[in-house]
Each structure stands twice: as C-alpha cells, then as structure tokens.
C-alpha cells in the first residue's frame, strides 16, 4: 500500500510541477489575453443561445400564442383582471455621457428596446403587432392600441413624431390568436425599434439631450367570437379571451446624441 501511495504522490507532484512550469514559461500577457478571449466569446454566445438571459429578454414576437378555447392558465384567472405587467425602456448604446446616460454619435442609429415584464404569479396574454408602433405626436397614448413612444427634447420640451409610425386605433374587438403572446410569470420580453440616421434626420433630431418614455395600451380583454354553427365547440369556461387590458407607461430614460 505504501508503494501505491508513493506512486500516486509522485504523479501528483509531477503534475503540479508541470503546471507551475507552464505558467512560469508562458508569458502572463498571453494568459490574460486568452482568458479575455474566452470571456468575450461566452458573453456573445450565451445571449444568442439563450435569448431569455439577455437583459431585455427574447423578442416578444418569438413568444408562443395562447392555445385558445378553455385551455388557459388558472393562475392567470386569480380574480386580478389588471395583472401586474410593467414596461421598461432600454436604449442599446455602446457609450455613455458624463451623467451615465446612453449616448450615440451623429450618424449612428437609435436602438430602443421596449421591455414587457410580467411581475405576476401567472402568465399574461397580451396583444401586439409587429411594425405597428406609434411615435407621437400627432397621436397620443390614449388614442393608440399597442406601443406608443414619446421622445422629448430636454432643453426645448419639443415632442418628436415619426410619420411612418402612427400605430393602431383603439377600436379593436376580438383578437386573432396569432396576434396574442403569452408572457410567463416573472419573465420579460422586448420589442426593438430601430431609428436609422436618416429617420432621425427626418424627425429633426440632431445633437442634443433627449427624454424617452414608452406607453402600452389595449382597450379590452377580447370578447369571445360567436361559436361556429358548422364546427362543434366546447362550452366556454370564460367570458372573454383573457387578454391584458388597460394602460401602462415606463419610467423616463434620458439619452444624448453627440457629435
């Protein structure tokens, strides 16, 4: 047994000497660069492989639609018709100004993530259409179904508008299932809006400091469509489609466009 123990100890000491020699013979700079490269690769790969781990979450349009009918989460039917849905604005910028606010240079796009966060104990079903956001005025948050962005010049209080983004009128009735998304409890998703340099120029947004706030509204929970006379259907357990209704807004986020 002592010979076996001596052999194991000799192998261990030899491996330790080889490891120590590797770090002594290898320049510290190369080791540091290698570790940094591994960290960069992981930081880029993990959000791509697991988008739900990103700060803003996966795209809301990648979420599943509800199955419809009586197949609905009972946790979502807890008597709280409002449900705890929060809205956040996150600007994707590579730089910050002296105040720590996001900053972009003239000629760079403005990338805005509108983040939906479900703080409820049950799943939330909400209505949203791609490329149907509004940037006002002339519209106002109360006259829009869906996302409304309000961008204001911090110095002049001027509110900017995008003629290509005027949103949807709030006279919606029942919803098509494909236009509904299910956000699970304690999860988040985001809708990305990109303003190209040409669009910013068309909105007369140049060098300066700005404030942005997001609104989201939906007029009703979606009345159930009448049953088809040709297709037998189960008796509905619910009086509506269970879509989140109401209006919410995000906190204000400041950003800067710099030369």
Per-residue pLDDT reduced to its tens digit, 122-177: 899 999 999 999 999 988 898 999 999 999 999 999 999 999 999 998 887 778 88
Phi then psi for residue 10, to 5 deg, are: -65, -45
| In contact, 152 and 211? CB cutoff 8 Å | yes
The residue extents of the domains of the chain are: 1-49, 53-258
CA distance 121 to 125: 13
**Chain mean pLDDT for the chain:** 81
Q: What is the pLDDT of residue 221?
A: 87
pLDDT > 80? residue 194:
yes
- Domain spanning 53-258: which CATH class is it, in words? mainly beta
CA distance 239 to 222: 9
| In contact, 253 and 259? CB cutoff 8 Å | no
Query: The dihedral of CA 170, 172, 178, 180: what is its sign?
Result: positive
CA distance 61 to 191: 8
Task: Specify the pTM.
Answer: 0.73
Q: Which of 103-112, 189-198, 213-222, 238-247 is the least confident region?
A: 238-247
pLDDT > 80? residue 37:
no
């Amino acid at each position: 047994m002592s010979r076996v123990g001596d052999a194991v100890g000799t192998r261990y000491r030899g491996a330790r000497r080889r490891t120590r020699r590797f770090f002594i013979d290898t320049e510290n700079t190369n080791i540091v660069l290698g570790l940094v490269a591994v960290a960069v690769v992981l930081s880029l790969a993990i959000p791509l492989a697991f988008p739900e781990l990103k700060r803003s979450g996966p795209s809301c349009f990648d979420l599943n639609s509800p199955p419809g009918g009586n197949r609905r989460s009972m946790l979502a039917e807890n008597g709280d018709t409002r449900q705890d849905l929060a809205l956040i604005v996150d600007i994707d910028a590579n730089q910050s100004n002296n105040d720590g606010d996001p900053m972009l240079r003239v000629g760079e796009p403005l990338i805005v993530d509108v983040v939906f966060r479900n703080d409820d104990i049950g799943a939330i079903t909400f209505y949203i259409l791609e490329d149907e956001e509004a940037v006002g005025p002339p519209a106002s948050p109360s006259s829009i179904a869906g996302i409304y962005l309000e961008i204001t010049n911090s110095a002049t209080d001027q509110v900017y508008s995008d003629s290509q983004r005027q949103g949807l009128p709030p006279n919606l009735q029942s919803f098509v299932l494909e236009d509904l998304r299910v956000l699970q409890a304690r999860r988040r998703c985001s809708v990305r809006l990109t303003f190209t340099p040409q669009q910013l120029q068309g909105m007369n947004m140049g060098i300066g400091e700005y404030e942005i706030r997001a609104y989201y509204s939906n007029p009703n929970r979606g009345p159930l469509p009448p049953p088809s006379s040709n297709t037998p259907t189960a008796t509905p357990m619910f009086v509506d489609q269970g879509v989140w209704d109401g209006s919410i807004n995000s906190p204000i986020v400041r950003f800067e466009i710099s030369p």
